[in-house]
A and B are shown apart, each in its own frame.
Chain A
């Protein structure tokens, strides 16, 4: 079955450490997205990519980095520069960008930094 796989489901890190969250899709989608979800807030876009080897900052990109070396993979690195990294992170993909095609989401990674 096609879908998006995020790993791990839960991640614990010490403050000051970089951590990379995995996102893989086998839907042959061009566009991929990383969102952050905090309690009581709507999803916020961190980074997105429309094509391999290209990506753009979203609304809250500071302290994060991404790469898109393969169409099916879009890993997110939470760096030590991110002031408040504890959150739920969701990866998504769509066949075209700009929100006019259905989004497919992974099951998310819950990151806790202490």
Chain B
């Protein structure tokens, strides 16, 4: 079982819908990152959080440390939100040599 699991793997929704992408992890972490990968391949860091909730524009990220779960929400979704969303965790010990373990990503398509 992967230490970082994202769901769903694929999501297609209509413009304007409220979107939720989930990330569950099975290890102790010090931080969690949400990344956005555009169709061309470039990746943008959306959030880094270790507790509570962060908001930037139409994007909201929450984390529940006790439940080892984080969600990324998109309000009033738009076709330009179509991308792959990646969750990555910084483990307290182990993990990759950079301390990060990445999920496989959620492929989101927003149809007009």
Contact = CB atoms under 8 A, between A and B. Distances in A.
Contact of B100 (A45, A104, A106, A107): A45
Contact of A99 (B2, B41, B90): B90
A106 B99 CA distance: 20
B60 interface: no
B44 A105 contact: yes
Interface in A78-114: 88, 90, 92, 97-108, 110
A44 B98 CA distance: 10
Contacts of A33: 98
Interface string B15-43: 00000000000000011010100001111
Contacts of B98: 33, 45, 48, 58, 97-99
B65 interface: no
A82 to B, nearest CB: 18
Contact of A102 (B40, B45, B95): B45
Nearest to A103: B45
A99 B42 contact: no
Interface stretch (B66-74, B75-83, B101-109): B101-109
Contacts of A97: 98-99
Contacts of A1: none
B43 A105 contact: yes
Contacts of B63: none
Nearest to A59: B96
B86 A42 contact: yes
B24 to A, nearest CB: 14
Interface of A: 33, 40-45, 48, 56-59, 88, 90, 92, 97-108, 110
Interface of B: 2, 4, 30-31, 33, 35, 40-45, 48, 86, 88, 90, 95-105
13 contacts: A33-B98, A40-B104, A42-B4, A44-B96, A56-B97, A90-B41, A98-B99, A99-B95, A99-B99, A99-B100, A101-B48, A102-B48, A106-B42
